[in-house]
């Protein structure tokens, strides 16, 4: 800027020096006293060149000034945006810290309340034990009194009638006292049962709130980290939240139930050594069941090939097959229950629960039912054939036990077939009434020991859960 002004000033001086006439003094060659004046002018082309140069310099100076103004406006607007961003981040950081403190206070309150409930429960259990001890003591006393009364009635037959009436009256009074005591004990046991139910519900609520607190911390950690990077004076509480470890994904639907989830629907799980995937969870009062198959309206074609049954198909909110690989990732270590629910066109229902183990791809996803005792009639349609392991079959992979027939092609869909005749819940879906031809009806959804091989069922649901859920129920 200063260089440009100096250049313009120099040009103006040159123009003034060359654009105006001036006098030049000097002596004549003859040495006379006469002084002669001479006038000199700059050339017109030189003047035009200088003027044109000045115009270009002025235009360049104007463009430079305009460009500098635009840059200053951009810098000013960016500074305003930065200031607003810093202010907003500061407010967000304060809000997150306030929420964190509130959640911590709430969690502390819940822990205190849980401790109080545990104390009350311990007191009630002690009282119940005392009452039971008193009941046993009264029972012993009652037995001794009954023996004494019997001996008195048998050995004192010669006594007067009024004496016998008095003994009977005493025994009656004791019996009334015992009945009253039993009623008190029953009332106390009922109170204990109700208190235990309240405690169970409270524990579920506590687990739910703890899970929500952990989720809130997980979501707040990245945001707090960004706020700390922009605002140097952020507090140490945000740093502590940032260091919190993320929540591990649930391994199945029962794991979700233990974390406080109680609503049936679609969730994301991640079994051990597996990628996350979505499942439909059926939540009950006793736990969470992972649904692996659902048939209800025939909207999905289950006559699929091996790869489809391995990966899964359908819609989780409608009809679907979860996929052999996903089922194996959940139940590969055993200790799971297979729960099968069936319904016919008269809206009658049946249920089968079998402990099972599912092998991997190297075993053709062999299903092994682990039953120590004998199977019931309803269980035998699948359990009897699968005690030693039953590989899965489709029309393009014949792994069934019937040597001369491909059961999946002869019937329909994919299933753990033995000799084609006991069960197939992935067969064709027939609307009511079923077809008249027997060879068509046997291609439907059937469970032989419930409604027969030639009765196409209305719906079926297959679910799995850890064996602990059966013990709890």
For residue 432, being part of any structural domain is answered with yes
Nearest Cα to 38, choosing from 23, 21, 18?
A: 23
Is the pTM value of this prediction over 0.85?
Answer: no
pLDDT at residue number 241: 35
Nearest Cα to 273, choosing from 330, 232, 336?
A: 330
Report, as an integer, the average pLDDT of 340-367: 94
Q: Is the pLDDT of residue 424 over 70?
A: yes
For residue 148, being part of any structural domain is answered with no
Nearest Cα to 371, choosing from 356, 381, 358, 385?
A: 356
For residue 205, being part of any structural domain is answered with no
Give 189-243 pLDDT, tens digit per residue.
Answer: 777 777 776 676 666 667 666 665 666 666 565 544 444 433 333 333 333 333 3
CB-based contacts of 354, cutoff 8 Å, min separation 6 = 337, 338, 340, 369, 371, 379, 382, 383
Report, as an integer, the average pLDDT of 391-416: 92
In this structure, the answer to whether residues 265 and 389 fall within a common structural domain is yes
For residue 243, being part of any structural domain is answered with no
Which residue, 140, 160, 182, sits at the end of a domain? 140
Q: Is the pLDDT of residue 49 over 70?
A: yes
pLDDT confidence band for 53 (50 / 70 / 90): confident
Q: Is the pLDDT of residue 427 over 90?
A: yes
In this structure, the answer to whether residues 284 and 427 fall within a common structural domain is yes
* 3-class SS of residue 121: helix
Query: Mean pLDDT highest for which of 148-152, 169-173, 179-183?
Result: 179-183
Is pLDDT larger for residue 186 or for residue 267? 267
CB-based contacts of 205, cutoff 8 Å, min separation 6 = 260
Which residue, 93, 114, 140, sits at the end of a domain? 140
Q: What is the largest CA-CA distance in the chain?
A: 196
Is pLDDT larger for residue 309 or for residue 6? 309
Q: Is the pLDDT of residue 24 over 60?
A: no
Which residue, 83, 118, 140, sits at the end of a domain? 140
Report, as an integer, the average pLDDT of 316-334: 94
CB-based contacts of 120, cutoff 8 Å, min separation 6 = 195
Query: Mean pLDDT highest for which of 9-13, 261-265, 438-442?
Result: 261-265
pLDDT confidence band for 34 (50 / 70 / 90): very low
In this structure, the answer to whether residues 134 and 282 fall within a common structural domain is no
Q: Residue 271 maps to which CATH number?
A: 3.90.215.10
In this structure, the answer to whether residues 460 and 338 fall within a common structural domain is yes
In this structure, the answer to whether residues 447 and 312 fall within a common structural domain is yes
**Mean pLDDT over the full length of the chain:** 79
Give 438-471 pLDDT, tens digit per residue.
Answer: 778 889 999 999 988 888 999 999 999 998 776 5
pLDDT at residue number 245: 39
pLDDT confidence band for 23 (50 / 70 / 90): very low
pLDDT at residue number 12: 58
| Domain total in the chain | 2
For residue 47, being part of any structural domain is answered with no
CB-based contacts of 15, cutoff 8 Å, min separation 6 = 47, 50, 54
Which domain does 78 fall in, by range?
52-140
Is pLDDT larger for residue 398 or for residue 195? 398
pLDDT at residue number 327: 97
Inter-residue contact 271 to 255 (CB < 8 Å): no
pLDDT at residue number 201: 62
State what percent of residues in the chain have pLDDT above 90: 32
For residue 162, being part of any structural domain is answered with no
Report, as an integer, the average pLDDT of 126-151: 77
For residue 461, being part of any structural domain is answered with yes
For residue 43, being part of any structural domain is answered with no
């Amino acid at each position: 800027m200063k260089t440009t002004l100096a250049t313009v000033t120099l040009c103006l001086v040159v123009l003034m020096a060359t654009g105006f006439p001036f006098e030049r003094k000097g002596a004549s060659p003859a040495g006379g006293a006469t002084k002669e004046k001479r006038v000199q002018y700059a050339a017109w082309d030189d003047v035009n060149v200088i003027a044109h140069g000045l115009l270009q310099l002025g235009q360049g100076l104007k463009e430079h000034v305009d460009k500098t103004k635009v840059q200053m406006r951009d810098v000013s607007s960016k500074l305003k945006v930065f200031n607003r961003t810093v202010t907003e981040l500061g407010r967000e950081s304060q809000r997150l810290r306030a929420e964190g403190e509130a959640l911590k206070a709430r969690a502390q309150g819940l822990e205190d309340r849980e401790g109080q409930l545990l104390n009350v429960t311990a007191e009630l259990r002690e009282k119940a034990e005392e009452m039971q001890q008193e009941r046993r003591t009264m029972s012993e006393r009652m037995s001794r009194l009954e023996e004494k009364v019997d001996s008195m009635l048998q050995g004192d037959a010669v006594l007067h009638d009024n004496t016998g009436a008095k003994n009977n009256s005493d025994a009656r009074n004791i019996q009334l006292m015992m009945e009253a005591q039993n009623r008190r004990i029953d009332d106390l046991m009922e109170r204990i049962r109700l208190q235990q139910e309240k405690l169970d519900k409270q524990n579920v609520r506590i687990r739910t709130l703890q899970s929500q607190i952990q989720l809130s911390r997980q979501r707040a950690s990245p945001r707090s980290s960004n706020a700390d990077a922009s605002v140097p004076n952020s507090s140490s509480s945000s740093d502590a939240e940032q260091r919190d470890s993320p929540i591990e994904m649930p391994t199945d639907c029962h794991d979700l139930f233990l974390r406080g989830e109680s609503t049936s629907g679609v969730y994301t799980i991640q079994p051990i050594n597996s990628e996350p995937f979505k499942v439909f969870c059926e939540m009950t009062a006793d736990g969470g069941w992972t649904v692996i198959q659902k048939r209800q309206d025939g909207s999905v074609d289950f006559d699929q090939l091996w790869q489809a049954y391995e990966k899964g198909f359908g819609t989780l909110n409608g009809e679907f097959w979860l996929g052999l690989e996903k089922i194996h990732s959940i139940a590969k270590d055993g200790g799971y229950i297979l729960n099968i629910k069936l319904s016919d066109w008269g809206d009658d229902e049946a249920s089968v629960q079998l402990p099972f183990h599912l092998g991997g791809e190297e075993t053709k996803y062999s299903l092994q039912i682990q039953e120590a005792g004998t199977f019931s009639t309803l269980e035998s349609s699948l359990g009897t054939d699968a005690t030693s392991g039953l590989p899965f079959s489709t029309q393009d992979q014949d792994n069934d036990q019937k040597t001369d027939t491909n059961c999946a092609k002869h019937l329909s869909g994919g299933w753990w077939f033995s000799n084609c005749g006991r069960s197939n819940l992935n067969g064709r879906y027939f609307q009511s009434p079923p077809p008249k031809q027997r060879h068509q009806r046997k291609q439907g959804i059937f469970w032989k020991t419930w409604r027969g091989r030639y009765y196409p069922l209305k719906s079926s649901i297959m679910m799995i859960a850890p064996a602990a859920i059966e013990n709890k129920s």
